[in-house]
């Protein structure tokens, strides 16, 4: 049976309120008394019951982390949220929604149930507006990462994907390439179209004309990358490098290049999109555009905590820049 405030109070010969003040570093406790109390607290390793604290203070010091799929979101972001949150005295509860509206709804109820002080929603499609509204109305705090809430004013963190593509393509252009192919997923995907835009933007910046025959749209699978490469080497205007809009596609592409008897990066420099353990592990290690996960996480944590504390962050929508992680696959080496 754990100790309670009352026990400590009795031991110290003071009132509960005094102990409470002492523990919470509130003013109005005598030097002496406080010392005595803290002594006893330490000695018995007393921990206030946070449930009771929460009930009295109307806060739980818990933050919900809503992800569609634990395996598809970078852990770095979670780790960094957790780290900032911990530092501020918050714990994170992890909510795997599987992109299932029912589960999402159930989890958002946590906010309503006073289980958490706020929630960070990472990626995926947005839940029912009705629920979001409910959560917001009961002064639940919400922060969105990499997903959009149309019409609603919710603090949101985004990454500029077109800038990422531009970064990658520029890196190749700067090394003198002129016929860079882009291998991408379905172009009706908003993210993919953004990446294509960035690709064009880079070309423009370097005054390289855009060629439609260097755009290879695939289904996004490894096999898709195979076909894209075959088509690329089959055509007349052979590309001299590849920008690929996902890591899976990039892995497939590198693989087919190698099986084709070519070398990466000697024959074809390749840049992928999205960092994962794989991209750094395969050979050659892949240069990729990566989301600034740690940054994203710490921003999200800071946002939600300041919201919880009643301050509205200066920027409702903040767009972070991706970074280019330069590894082996993109270093142009003229072999001739």
Partner DNA sequence: TTGTAAGCGTTATCAC
Partner DNA sequence: GTGATAACGCTTACAA
Size of the site for a copy of itself (CB under 8 A): 51
Q: Using CB under 8 A, which residues numbered 10 to 39 contact a copy of itself?
A: none
Q: How far apart are CA 74 and CA 146, in angstroms?
A: 12
Stated as kind and residue range, the H or E segment containing 304 is: helix 293-308
Using CB distances below 5 to 8 A depending on partner kind, what does residue 71 bind out of DNA, a copy of itself, none? a copy of itself
Using CB distances below 5 to 8 A depending on partner kind, what does residue 29 bind out of DNA, a copy of itself, none? DNA
> Binding pattern to a copy of itself, positions 105-144, x when CB under 8 A?
-x--xx-xxxx------------------x---x------
> Could you tell me which stretch among 59-67, 158-166, 172-180, 207-215 binds a copy of itself (CB under 8 A)?
59-67
Residue of 92, 168, 172, 271 interacting with a copy of itself (CB under 8 A): 92
Q: Which residues contact 213 (CB under 8 A, 6 or more apart)?
A: 235, 237
Using CB distances below 5 to 8 A depending on partner kind, what does residue 92 bind out of a copy of itself, DNA, none? a copy of itself
Structure tokens that stand for 276 in this block: 């994962």
Structure tokens that stand for 177 in this block: 């390439």
The footprint of DNA (CB under 7 A) covers 2, 4-6, 13-18, 20-21, 23-24, 26-30, 32-34, 47-49, 52-53, 55-58
Q: How far is the CB of 92 from a copy of itself (least distance, A)?
A: 6
Q: How far is the CB of 74 from DNA (least distance, A)?
A: 36
Q: How far is the CB of 61 from a copy of itself (least distance, A)?
A: 9
81 versus 144: smaller Cβ distance to a copy of itself: 81
Using CB distances below 5 to 8 A depending on partner kind, what does residue 14 bind out of a copy of itself, DNA, none? DNA
Q: How far apart are CA 203 and CA 213, in angstroms?
A: 14
Q: How far is the CB of 58 from a copy of itself (least distance, A)?
A: 9
Stated as kind and residue range, the H or E segment containing 210 is: none
Q: Using CB under 8 A, which residues numbered 202 to 261 contact a copy of itself?
A: 222, 248, 251, 255, 258-259
Give the β-pairing of 62-67 and 241-244.
Answer: unpaired
Q: How far apart are CA 222 and CA 214, in angstroms?
A: 18
Q: How far is the CB of 5 from DNA (least distance, A)?
A: 3
Q: How far is the CB of 214 from a copy of itself (least distance, A)?
A: 25
Q: How far apart are CA 18 and CA 39, in angstroms?
A: 14
10 Å CB burial of residue 70 (0-12, 13-18, 19+) is middle
52 versus 316: smaller Cβ distance to DNA: 52
Q: How far apart are CA 177 and CA 172, in angstroms?
A: 6
Stated as kind and residue range, the H or E segment containing 233 is: helix 222-234
Structure tokens that stand for 105 in this block: 């709804």
Q: What are phi and psi of 77, to 5 degrees?
A: -70, -40
Q: How far apart are CA 135 and CA 144, in angstroms?
A: 13
DSSP structural state of residue 240? S
Beta strands in 27-155 (DSSP E): 62-67, 91-96, 118-122, 141-145
Residues that bind a copy of itself (CB under 8 A): 1-2, 45, 47-52, 54-55, 60, 62, 65, 70-71, 75-76, 78-79, 82-83, 86, 91-96, 103, 106, 109-110, 112-115, 134, 138, 222, 248, 251, 255, 258-259, 276-278, 281-283
């Amino acid at each position: 049976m754990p100790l309670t405030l009352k026990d400590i109070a009795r031991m110290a010969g003071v009132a509960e309120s005094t102990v409470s003040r002492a523990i919470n570093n509130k003013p109005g406790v005598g030097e002496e008394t406080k010392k005595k109390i803290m002594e006893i607290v330490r000695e018995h390793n007393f921990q206030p019951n946070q449930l009771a604290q929460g009930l009295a203070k109307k806060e739980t010091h818990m933050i919900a982390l809503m992800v569609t799929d634990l395996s598809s979101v970078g852990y770095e972001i979670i780790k960094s949220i957790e780290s900032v949150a911990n530092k501020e005295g918050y714990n994170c509860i992890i909510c795997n929604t599987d992109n299932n509206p029912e589960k999402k709804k159930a989890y958002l109820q946590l906010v309503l149930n006073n289980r958490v002080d706020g929630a960070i929603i990472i990626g995926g499609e947005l839940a029912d507006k009705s629920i979001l509204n409910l959560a917001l109305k009961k002064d639940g705090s919400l922060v969105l990462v990499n997903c959009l809430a149309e019409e609603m004013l919710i603090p949101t963190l985004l990454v500029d994907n077109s800038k990422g593509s531009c970064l990658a393509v520029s890196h190749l252009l700067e090394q003198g390439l002129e016929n860079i192919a882009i291998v991408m997923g379905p172009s009706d995907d908003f993210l993919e179209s953004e990446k294509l835009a960035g690709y064009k933007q880079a070309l423009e910046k370097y005054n390289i004309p855009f060629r439609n025959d260097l755009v290879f749209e695939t289904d996004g699978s490894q096999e898709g990358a195979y076909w894209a490469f075959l088509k690329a080497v089959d055509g007349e205007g052979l590309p001299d490098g590849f920008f690929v809009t996902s890591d899976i596609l990039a892995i497939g592409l590198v693989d087919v290049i190698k099986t084709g008897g070519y070398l990466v990066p000697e024959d074809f420099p390749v840049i992928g999109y999205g960092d994962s353990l794989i991209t750094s592990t395969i050979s050659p290690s892949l240069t990729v555009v990566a989301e600034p996960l740690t940054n994203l996480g710490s921003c999200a944590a800071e946002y939600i905590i300041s919201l919880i504390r009643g301050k509205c962050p200066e920027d409702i929508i903040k767009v972070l820049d991706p970074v280019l992680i330069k590894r082996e696959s993109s270093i142009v080496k003229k072999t001739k």
